Structures are given as C-alpha cells and as structure tokens.
Amino acid sequence: MGGNVDCRQCTRWPGPARHVRQPCQADFATIDRSGRARQGRDAGRSFVKSGEELQADCPTAPPRRTRAHRDSLGRRVGRRQPVSGRVTSAVRSQGHPGMPGEPVRVVVFDPIPPEEWSYDVEAGILAARRVELVLPSGPVATRQEIRDADVVIVTGIRPLDGPTIRTLRRCIGILCYSIGMDKVDGAAAAVAGIPVRNVPDYCTEEVSDHALALLLAAERRLTAFAELAASGQWDVVGRPENESIRRLRGQTLGILGAGRIGSKVARKARAFGFRTIAFDPYISSTEDPEIELVPLPDLLGQADALVLCASLNDGSRGLLGWNEFAQLRPGVILVNVARGALIDEAALAEALGSGRVGLAALDVRSPEPPAKGADPLAGLPNVIQTPHIAALSREAREDLRRMAGEIVLQMLESSGRIPSTAVDQTA
C-alpha cells in the first residue's frame, strides 16, 4: 500500500516518467495513453479515457435479485456464496455492455490480509452502484480473477507487471492503492490502453508531518540523547553531538520535488525559520512564492538539510549518488519520505562515514526490509530509521478507503461501464 506515499533530479531525472505532482512524492500524476505523466499545473490530476475512447454505452441487463443483508457499515448489500478462491462483497451489477447479466467487477490485486485491513468502506461504496468487489484468496485466484476485471486495484504487495497486464481482457482502469505509482508497469498499461490512477491526496499531511519529525529529530540528535537518558546518563557535557547541533532558524532546506507533499514540507519548515528552496524539473513556478526553484547543483551546494519528496521512476532512480553527495555541504542532514531507491545506499554509507552527510533520517529503504547481511547502512550511528510509516494515521486510512472507492466509480462512469450520476446543468 505504499501510500505510506507520495516522489525527481539532475539531467537524469526528466524522461519517461509517470510522476509529477505528488508523489509520495511524494507527488504523482496519472499516466496518459502515451505512458507519460501530465505536467505543469495539471500534474497530479486524474486522467481517464472518455467513453468514446473505451466503449460506447449500450443497454444493460437488470440486476440479479439477491437476498439483502447489511455489511459491517450498515449498508444494504446482496449476499452471494463466495466462488472458490475469492470473496465477493457486492450485488450483481447491471451488466457489461454487450454482456447482459455479467457483473461489473473490481478486483484487488494482492489484497492486504484481512487481519490487517478491511475493504468494507470500498465494498459499500461500490455496492451502492451495483459493482462487485472481489478479494482473491491467493496468487492463483488473483491471476484468474483479474483477467475479466473492469478495474484492478494494486495494493503494492507485488508489482503489476507487463505480462500480467497483457492478460487483462476488459480492464478499463488500474488504481494504485497509494500515492506512489511505481508498482505498476506504466509502459505496458499505456500499450494496452489502460489508464492508471493513484490516490494522490489521502496522506499528504501525514507524510509532510513525518518529514518534519525526522528533520527535527536529526537536527537535534534526538535519538542519541533519548538513548542516553533512558540508560541513566544525564551528564552529556563534552559529547560530540553537542558541537554538531545548529540553530534551525536561518538554515536552508532543500526539497527535491515541489509537489503536494514537498510544498507542505516547505510551508511547515518555514514555521521553524528555514529558508526553503526546491528542485523540480517538471514545473517552472509554484503557487508558494516563498519556495525558490533552483537547479539541482545549486540546491545541493546551498542546502543545510535535504528532504526527498520525489516520485520514483526510471529517471529518478539513484537520484542521489556518489557525484551528488560530493556536491553537498559537509554535515548536511538528509531526510527521505519518498522512495528508498531514489538514493544509492552504498554512496550514502560512504557519505555518512566521511561526514559529508551528518545524519540520515529515513522512512523508506531499498529494498524493504533491508537485506540482512547486505545492508550498507546497518549499524551506522548516524542513521535514524522508521519502517515506512509516514502515511499512517486513522484519518489517512479512512480517506484512502473512501477516495479509492470514489475514484473507481469515476473510472467506471467515464468508460460507460456504469451510468453516470452527473447532473446535466443545461437541461
């Protein structure tokens, strides 16, 4: 569920990308038919093909009668016996165009285990429009179910790759159950003519808050002093940490990716007195006049602290490597709340050892979890880590479920798979 997301770079960054305003960055956008992310002020806005592009409306069959009952949210839904290998959670639909009686089906690719997550909210939203939500029981059932799915929801447990996308026979949309869109093969989806969308707004407050929490913990060397206090050591006079702590006001914060999350990080950081600059090759201006857009080399040379809010794509992978770390001011603070693969971790380990990076505060790694025995950052005293939890809050979970259900309905309406509820203002 990467949302726990969210998102860019030097001359390597621009190129075939699926992100823009967001993503994770992290700020993301959607994929159009060419496979490229939309840019500029429209970046991050959802794009779905029109009904003419996908399929014209046609008569649909009446809904199949079912015995009604109420789900855990009190909504009336139909009850059906689960088919082997899946769990259904809505009534029989009005039918596919040209396939009377067949349900409109939304299939979750690798559902999050039921002991960890509930899809009741999405099921209720879809059931109200006679759309069936299918939760396959395992990988084999998933392969079977998604072939005839109208919409596929990708949780991020496994990537939805090209070969799998090519098995989709009537899919009109793919929804990333997150801000990040790096778990879907965007090029394959574009070739298949299937739009890809994300849930861009559900956790922007949480991720930007977490970025500030990591930044402040790193600046104040909080974890080191907390461990000393917990062990009963209160005499900290002369400790090396004392000399490395600086006043926040007046420092320059460099933000990589000035999308939804990056912009919020900048605004919140200024409350502590930071000057904010950003690098984002997809925009020429921001709505925030206090964010100065600069080239990447300028950002690296000016920043006292860096926060990564960029999406992960082919152009941004390894955004910070040996060359980029060499351009930093000595002792810079590095925070990453986007994607772990934006950083070359071997290069980061060397920069941490040399003092070029004073402290790294990371919510994301690559891979996750780090491989035991092959983690270049293992045991380093100047690394703070959290296990990809930046997006977590009760409100964010509620928003993700609601927004996901609503976006799926938008995709189905735009394709003509279900009737539109839009009111004609000209009538």
What positions carry a catalytic annotation?
A: 339, 368, 388
Residue 257's nearest CA partner among 37, 20, 39, 40 is: 20
Query: Which pair of structure tokens corresponds to residue 187?
Result: 């090029």
Q: Give 88's strand partners.
A: 134
The total number of residues shown for the chain amounts to 427
